[in-house]
Structure 1
């Protein structure tokens, strides 16, 4: 008598991985705005309800598809707590807390290289910016949050490139306090200072 097999059947598809693969491809090709849960589900061959079950909202699916080692929304939560005049310092400290962590940095570098690739630039412009960065400006109550937070992101991406990807001196060797003191005033001006219309 043949015993019924136990556990996962050999060759059964990994549904979660299929959804993530379909989501990554869609976000890279169509951007955040052009990607829908329904289309991702269709590409993965699953019901849209299953995508919601595994990942929740489209924002959550996007961040899962980015394969980040930390949820950046949780990391930058402290940025909106406290006076807006000190938000840049809080932003930089939150940023450095993960980027200077040797356990997390390798995975972050892989993501940074992916979003800097011209072929997948929509992951940054139509995904990471509206999902993670712009909500900070809205929560801080600054004027023109979309415009100002794009300027903040430009500075931070430059910092990532110089300090972590290319390791250009003296930026690569600055202490966290030196980074905050050097970049903080510029980021704060982007947040609350005078900027051209």
Structure 2
């Protein structure tokens, strides 16, 4: 059992927890990894993990080097007029990917999930549980429609920022939003 309280001497505890979390998420997926298990592997009390990171979801975001917590963006997407959610989703994706510093972790993640089944499982479990299922429930649409909207956006960012297809690379965000927002709106509007 891990000791309670702060360790004596210089602290590298935060980094040890992150390393333990990365191993646990990689080996067990998002759903299989537990806060207690990660804390035990790091040699700390679970309360210390909560002190540093809050929730398992927040620890995952830090451990995977996400530039933002996708679940924290959900209230922003849901606020505002329902008939403009397609535009808000498109603008959020373009803003996140348009920033070169924010784009790097996303690119690394995409490359990882494309070539590693464990990474794909981990990201899939996290995204389904913390974003896609919640968005589907909040909008009153089937999960398939929300997943299709996510696929639409991932395809867009792949072509614009990874493949760098000239029509998309050269287009302004407003031009892309004008094209893609109605499609997203259709996916995210209850029938």
How does the TM-score come out when normalised to structure 2? 0.83
Say whether the 8 Å CA contact 2:34–2:56 is kept in structure 1.
yes
Segments of 4+ moved more than 4 angstroms:
none
* Cα deviation 1:49-103 (Å, max 9, x = unaligned): 1111111111111111121222333444321012322211111112212211234
Aligned equivalents of 1:24, 1:54: Cα separation in 2: 15
Structure with the bigger RCO (C-alpha within 8 Å, sep 6+) is 2
Task: Give the gaps of 5 or more residues in structure 1.
Answer: 1-7
Unaligned runs of 5+ in 2: 1-7
Distance in structure 2 (CA, Å) of the matches to 1:95 and 1:134:
18
Give the alignment's Cα RMSD to 1 decimal: 2.3
Q: How far apart in 1 are the matches of 2:56 and 2:22?
A: 12
Match of 2:162 in 1: 165
The answer on whether the counterparts of 1:29 and 1:122 sit within 8 Å (CA) in structure 2 is no
Range 166-175 or range 33-42, more displaced:
166-175
My pick for the range that moved more, 52-61 or 24-33, is: 24-33
Name the TM-score, length of structure 1 as normaliser. 0.81
In structure 1, distance between residues paired with 2:36 and 2:163:
39
Q: How does 1:7-156 map to 2 (within 5 A)?
A: 9=9, 14-119=12-117, 120-139=119-138, 141-144=139-142, 146-156=143-153
The structure that is helix-richer by fraction is: 2
> 1:143-196 CA deviation, whole Å, 9 max, x = no partner?
32x3322222211221222111221232222211121122222222221266xx
Greater C-alpha Rg: 1
What secondary structure is seen at the aligned counterpart in 1 of 2:100?
Answer: coil
Give yes or no for the alignment of 1:183 onto 2:156: no
